[in-house]
Amino acid sequence: MITELVVSLLAANPTFATFITIVGLLRAINKPLFATIQAIVDKTETKIDNQWWERVQAHPAMKSFLWLLDWGASVKFPKGKK
């Protein structure tokens, strides 16, 4: 029953379906990707890659990219009045 409702809503609104798909993919790929990079950097014996990864993360362009990605891939619903 709920599956039919969701499918019919997404079929009626293909733009919304595309948006939901993109948000889902971004969220599904990003966290594991950055966690994997951090784990690889931490696992290596040399510390050169740690310094490189810290510089990459501290770069203003990367910070802006990550902020936009987080903001764009997060669905926030307004809180109701109490």
**Tens digit of each residue's pLDDT (9 = 90 or more) over 30-80:** 888 889 999 999 998 888 989 999 999 899 998 888 888 777 767 666 676
- Give the pLDDT score at 30: 81
CA gap 12, 15 in Å, rounded: 9
Q: Provide the residue ranges of all domains of the chain, joining segments of one domain with +.
A: 2-73
Per-residue pLDDT band at 17 (split at 50, 70, 90)? confident
Secondary element (H or E) of residue 76: none
3-state secondary structure 26-68: HHHHHHHHHHHHHHHHHHCCCCHHHHHHHHHHHCHHHHHHHHH
| Angstrom distance (rounded) from CA 71 to CA 26 | 11
pLDDT value for 55: 93
Mean pLDDT of 23-28: 81
